[in-house]
Structure 1
Amino acid sequence: MVMQTEARVGMSSGHGVVGNKASSSHLLTPYQRSHIESASQLLAGGLAGAFSKTCTAPLSRLTILFQVQGMHSDAAALRKPSILHEASRILNEEGLKAFWKGNLVTIAHRLPYSSVNFYSYEHYKKFMYMVTGMENHKASISSNLFVHFVAGGLAGITAASATYPLDLVRTRLAAQTKVIYYTGIWHTLRTISTDEGIFGLYKGLGTTLVGVGPSIAISFSVYESLRSFWRSNRPHDSEIMVSLTCGSLSGIASSTATFPLDLVRRRKQLEGVGGRAVVYKTGLLGTLKSIVQREGVKGLYRGILPEYYKVVPGVGICFMTYETLKLYFKDLSSKL
């Protein structure tokens, strides 16, 4: 449609029908343009999330495997996590493709999750500026930080709630090693519903929402603050380099702050797999206490190293791709 429109504009310009961008802008009503802008934001966010997750899938799987090591193992028998050792084991026992085990469901989850996340963030941010009266005034750094933090937290909670069953499926597929209990997305959804009931698809949601709100809030607020500071001091630097660097730093900040909550979330998601006994029978605080007692404080950060290796390129790629696609779609829509 875009190519046809551009061709039509080019062909008609010699006859004075649609001579330039100014006259072509009347082809769409404000209502239509608003819908195109919303669709562009959703598409840019979804593609950015899916692309980022695919690039970092091997490190993501290693993180999950380390996070769940202490669930059914004796604390004394737990070896020191070694990325190289675990990667070699996966390669030798499961093959190269195993590094992307569960990546299909990751993409199926990340497309709607990132779309809803980025889209709702933009709208929550606009709403926050409007209700606080900062929409048409130059706000202070602290005020902007507050808006970005709250909007990011609300966006994360919205996106996680809307797509949670797919996140659960992805964790269970990625955590499988020698024993294959689930064979695919639909089989996993059906099996969980049959074995654990429909509410089994939302196992660990409470912990997820407690963690994802602050995580996304920190990620967005750090990213926006760093990006704004960078652009004000070095306005001519490459947009791609700015987004990649600020996105990576924001990912490190959010992962460090919320990693124990993410670890509890993963373990809660794996409760009762294949009829296994429930390990953690208490809430969030009780589970955190149990992990510290069994594995020490270091147990709360089991898998943090591959998480860092993943999050630096992952979040950077995600923000960079989102900003690039957003500008690209904006340019396309202006030609309609």
Structure 2
Amino acid sequence: MPKSFLGNPALDHAVAGFTAGAVSTIILHPLDLIKTRFQADDSIKSLSKRHFGATFNTLRSIVHKEGIIGLYRGISPNLAGSTASWGFYFYWYDLIKRWMANGDKLTKLSATQHLLASAEAGAITVFMTNPFWVVKTRMCITSRKDPEAYKGLIDGLYQIAKYEGIRGLYKGLVPGLLGVSNGALQFMFYEEMKKWRLRISPEEDRERLDNIEYILVAGSSKTIANVATYPYQLIRTRLNNQKFVIKYNGVIDAIRKVYSSEGFLGFYKGLAPNTLRVLPGTCTTFLVYENMSAFFRKHARFDE
């Protein structure tokens, strides 16, 4: 077994991912809330809300009506979902990569192998965390003063399970699985960019990038993946929401109706606040993850 801090390399990666997800979510949840509300708004009038100025106007409106605490509506399911997602994702990603490498160095994996490993890890993670995202979406699009609003993560899970059953907890699963392509593309570009940077580095035997390089690589890979796959996030949000101006009957019906009533750009509602959130969010997540992973390797207690 390779060197490990917690007794298993995959567990080291899981804890690093769990921590990274928590830090990123706590810092950037308000922007995630705005993005979710933009995505869930299926009125034609809301098409004017695509510009960055609307993001700050909406933030100001929420603070005025609900106070600062209103910006953290839905933080509990978001925190649970993000920490669990990143933790599970890195755990399965590391296990699958080691299985593919068959004992060889992980850096020798091809771009295709990285794409497959991240896609498989993402699919497993989606199945495990989907209920959290359903609750998070519904909490983010409702005010605390709404009599039908969930009081928190546990209350949301209980009410959905009670009134909608298991099927309700897995609303939006299909677009969620389609969204695995986002993480797959991101990790493929991330791994390939890291290999390229280390390969052209003048320092010999360099095993990791510096913090600025991690930020640049993480931001670049996420931007490419996000623009390519953003529409699935909007479709997933519409299916997770139970209060529609337009009724949607599944993924294909939602795609057809969004395009019919809002046009192609309708698939990119909320892209501005999403961009504001995912770039610092991704950079923060990967920076924390890479530094924690390096700490675990440096202080490994369990040798081969």
Secondary structure at 1:203 match in 2: coil
**Separation of aligned partners in 2, 1:225 and 1:190:** 43
Question: Does structure 1 conserve the Cα–Cα contact (< 8 Å) formed by 2:4 and 2:300?
Answer: no
1:304-331 per-position Cα deviation (integer Å, ceiling 9, x unaligned): 0111111111111111111100111222
Q: In 2 relative to 1, CA 88–235 (structure 1 residues): closer, same or farther, beyond 3 Å?
A: farther
**Separation of aligned partners in 2, 1:188 and 1:258:** 28
After TM superposition, the structure 1 = structure 2 runs for residues 124-203 of structure 1, keeping only pairs within 5 Å, are 124-130=96-102, 135=104, 144-177=110-143, 179-180=146-147, 181-203=149-171
The Cα shift of 1:182 comes to 1.1
TM-score, normalising length: structure 2: 0.88
2:57 is equivalent to residue 85 of structure 1: yes
1:54 is matched with which residue: 16, 26, 32? 26
**Separation of aligned partners in 1, 2:46 and 2:5:** 60
The Cα shift of 1:127 comes to 2.0
Question: Does structure 1 conserve the Cα–Cα contact (< 8 Å) formed by 2:4 and 2:296?
Answer: no
Aligned residues: 294
1:103-141 per-position Cα deviation (integer Å, ceiling 9, x unaligned): 1221222222111101111111222233xxx946995xx
Aligned position for 1:319? 286
Secondary structure at 2:151 match in 1: coil
Unaligned runs of 5+ in 1: 1-28
Aligned position for 1:243? 214
Name the % identity. 26
**Separation of aligned partners in 2, 1:264 and 1:148:** 26
Structure number with larger C-alpha Rg: 1
1:281-308 per-position Cα deviation (integer Å, ceiling 9, x unaligned): 1x32321111011111111000001111
Tell me whether 44-53 or 80-89 shows the greater mean CA deviation: 80-89
Give the letter for the 1:265 counterpart. R
Provide runs of 4+ in structure 1 moved above 4 Å: 29-34, 136-139, 235-238
Unaligned runs of 5+ in 2: none
Give the letter for the 1:175 counterpart. I
Aligned position for 1:266? 237
Aligned position for 2:37? 65
**Separation of aligned partners in 1, 2:106 and 2:24:** 35
**Separation of aligned partners in 1, 2:4 and 2:229:** 40
Q: In 2 relative to 1, CA 95–253 (structure 1 residues): closer, same or farther, beyond 3 Å?
A: same
1:250-306 per-position Cα deviation (integer Å, ceiling 9, x unaligned): 1111111111001000111113x5xx798101x323211110111111110000011
**Separation of aligned partners in 2, 1:32 and 1:79:** 51
Question: Does structure 1 conserve the Cα–Cα contact (< 8 Å) formed by 2:114 and 2:188?
Answer: yes
Question: Does structure 1 conserve the Cα–Cα contact (< 8 Å) formed by 2:183 and 2:225?
Answer: yes
Secondary structure at 1:35 match in 2: coil
The Cα shift of 1:192 comes to 1.0
